[in-house]
Amino acid sequence: MASSSSRDVPDPGADPFCERSLPCFSLSRRILGARFRFVSNSEALLDLVDAAYGGVPEHRLPLSSPEIHIELRLLRGRLMPGASEPPLLRMQAGAGLLCGVMDPANYVILDPGKRQGLVVASEDMLGSPYHLRYEFIEFAVFVLAARVLGLIPLHGACVGRHGRGVLLLGASGSGKSTLALCSLLQGLDFLAEDAVFVHPQSLFATGIANYLHLQADALRFIDDHSVRRWINQAPLIRRRSGVQKFEADLRQGPGASAAVALALTGAVFVSGQAASDPDALLSPISRDELAARLRADQPYAAGQPGWAHFEQQLLQLGVHELRRGDHPRASVEALRSLLE
């Protein structure tokens, strides 16, 4: 019977915090106006970073550009219980740290004060690349960029032209993604479809033009066969809500992503209701109504530092409701009028 020595089997008591498992791979990217450096013990994890941020425009904002460090650590073995999809990421905060915990082997710890984060994932999470990329890596990047740079994180989309942009706000299912796609196909610059980050002092908006998420019914508005093929060939992902969507890679599709951060000229609340007059899709929202509507639509952002200044600036620019016309093309023309 073979015996094993302490040299053959590492003593976990000698390195209980895994401090000696140093990362050996690295990658740097400029994202959301900040310089990010990713280090990892796994090339596969850095491949997911590249899948998220490779080839996207490197926006700059009118403020200093600090470096933010994120370590991605892969744990060997299958440490998650078998399930159809990974458990939900549960949020916690304390002692200046922000945490997202899925289970003991899959979690995120962020320290905005020190501009750094740790993402830990078990090896079997590589079999759920969408959740690992979106709920771990992109979550860490979005939170750290917003907290370190003082940006307002908005759930919405943004399109523009000639360096000017308009926010697309509204409830899930109102048609923001379809409108963003149609804007892209009609020559507007695509900034972001799901998350927009605004510098509250300058009202410059930045985002990540990597993926577009569309439900199958959006295809009825697409006449171009090559665009329909691009969407139909995209992977299908399932949101935590249960909604299934195509995840189309914008870097392989038509149109142009916004090459620079966009100076906001206003915002619209995208409505699912049809306009009574097809020639009047836009209607201004009164200042008395707008503040409450903005806070109801963006409850997380409304609690962040800088919100009051952002809100006042947006009130001065003006916000409209955009109701549906006969075709999303009419809505795109309405957006163009706000970008002149």
Cα–Cα distance, 85 to 88 (Å, whole number): 9
Quick one: what percent of the chain has pLDDT higher than 90? Answer: 78
Tell me what pLDDT residue 272 has: 84
Closest C-alpha among 155, 162, 205 to residue 338 = 162
pLDDT computed for residue 336 by the predictor: 95
Quote the tokens at residue 174: 């109102």
Backbone angles phi and psi of 329, in degrees to 5: -60, -35
- Write the pLDDT tens digit of every residue in 220-231: 889 899 999 999
**Measured CA distances, 288 to 284, 285, 295, 309, 319 (Å):** 12, 8, 13, 17, 12
What pairs with residue 70 in β-bridges?
38, 117
pLDDT-derived band at 12, boundaries 50, 70, 90: low
Structural contact between residues 78 and 122, judged by C-beta atoms closer than 8 angstroms: yes
3-state secondary structure of 67: strand
Distance CA 60, CA 66 (A): 11
Tell me what pLDDT residue 1 has: 39
Q: Are 123 and 116 in contact (CB under 8 A)?
A: no
Percent share of the chain, pLDDT over 70: 94
Residue 81 clears pLDDT 70, i.e. is over it: no
Q: What is the pLDDT of residues 19-75, one digit of tens each?
A: 777 678 999 999 999 999 999 999 999 999 999 999 999 999 998 889 999 999 999
pLDDT higher than threshold 70 for residue 278: yes
pLDDT of residue 3: 38
Q: Does an H or E element contain 180, and which?
A: helix 176-185
Strands 244-249 and 116-122: unpaired
> pLDDT averaged over the chain?
91
Q: pLDDT of 116-153, one tens digit each?
A: 999 999 999 999 999 999 999 999 999 999 999 999 99
Full-model pTM: 0.92
174 pLDDT band, cuts 50/70/90, is confident
